[in-house]
Amino acid sequence: MAAAGFDAPPRRFYKTVDVAQSEGGFAVRLDGRAPKSPKGSPLVLPTKALAELIAAEWDTQGEAILLSGMNATRRAFTAIDQIPPARAEVAQEIAHYAGSDVLCYRAGAPKALADRQEAAWDPVLDWAALELGLRLECAHGITHVSQAGESLMRALELALAADDMTLTALAEATALFGSAVLAFALQHGRIDASTALDLSRLDEIFQIEQWGVDEEAAARIADHSRQAAGLQAWFEALA
C-alpha cells in the first residue's frame, strides 16, 4: 500500500515491447499499441534507433513503471507536445545562453586555471567559428562581454534549423552545460558527453583538485553525468 499522501507508480500493464514502422516514423509499441503522450499523441519517433532507445526504457520496467527514470521517454513527449508551439522561445533561450556562454568567461587568476581554460576551451570555440559560423568573444576576470548581434542571430538560426527532437535535446544540453557551444558540439559529435560535462565544469574540477569533493557534490556530478550520457545517446540515435 502506498504511503498516505503519495501516489503509487502505475503498474506495468503490458507484456511485450517492440518498434514498428508507422506513419511519420517508427512507433514504440506496448502489446502492439503505441503509448500516448500527455496530450494524446502516439509515441512515434523519426528514426528507428531513437524508437529502440525509448522502447528499451519501457522494456526494462519491472512490475511498476518508474516514469521519473525514463528520461528519453519524457524528452520525447516534451518534443511531441511542448516544442512545436514554442519553437521560437526555446531557440531564443539557446541563443541567450550563447550570449553568456561559460566558455567565454576566463579566470583572471590563478594562472594555472586560466591556462587550462585556454587550452581546453579555445579548440571548441574555434570549431564553432569554423564549422558553424558561430563566433563568440571571450572576457577575462569578472568583466562582461556583449556578443555581437550577428553571433546571437547565428546561434538562433542553428537552433531553429533543428527538428523538434533535436531542439528539445539542445535546450536540455545547453542548460546542463551552461553553454550553447558545448550543446552544439555534442549534437554534431565534435565531443562526447563526458568531455562536454568536464569542459563545462572546468572551474569546479580545478577547485576539487585543490580541496576535494563532498558527497552532495559527488551525487550531483553523477546525476549530471547520466544526463549528459543520455543526451549523447539521443543525438547519436537521431543521426
| Nearest partner of 49 among 30, 28, 34, 33, judged by Cα | 28
Non-local CB neighbours of 190 within 8 Å, separated by 6+ positions = 124, 127, 131, 184
Fold of 84-238: ATP12-like fold (1.10.3580)
25-30: strand order across its sheet: 17-22, 25-30, 44-45
pLDDT of residue 68: 87
Q: Which residues pair with 21 in a beta bridge?
A: 26
Q: What angle do CA 57, 227, 19 make, to 5 degrees?
A: 25
Q: Which CATH number does 17-81 carry?
A: 3.30.2180.10
Instruction: Give the DSSP H/E element, type plus range, for residue 18.
Output: strand 17-22
pLDDT of residue 1: 33
| Nearest partner of 18 among 2, 5, 29, 7, judged by Cα | 29
pLDDT of residue 16: 97
pLDDT of residue 95: 98
Are 99 and 154 a contacting pair, CB within 8 Å? Answer: no
The domains of the chain are located at: 17-81, 84-238
Amino acid 5 reads G
DSSP code per residue over 96-146? HHHTT-GGGEE-SS-HHHHHHHHHHHHHHHHHIIIII------EETT---P
pLDDT of residue 4: 40
Terminal C-alpha separation, the chain? 44
pLDDT of residue 6: 52
Are 124 and 83 a contacting pair, CB within 8 Å? Answer: no
The pLDDT averaged over each successive group of 10 residues in the chain (239 residues) is 58 97 96 96 98 98 93 98 98 97 94 96 98 96 89 98 98 98 98 98 94 90 97 97
| Predicted model pTM | 0.94
pLDDT of residue 99: 96
pLDDT of residue 141: 78
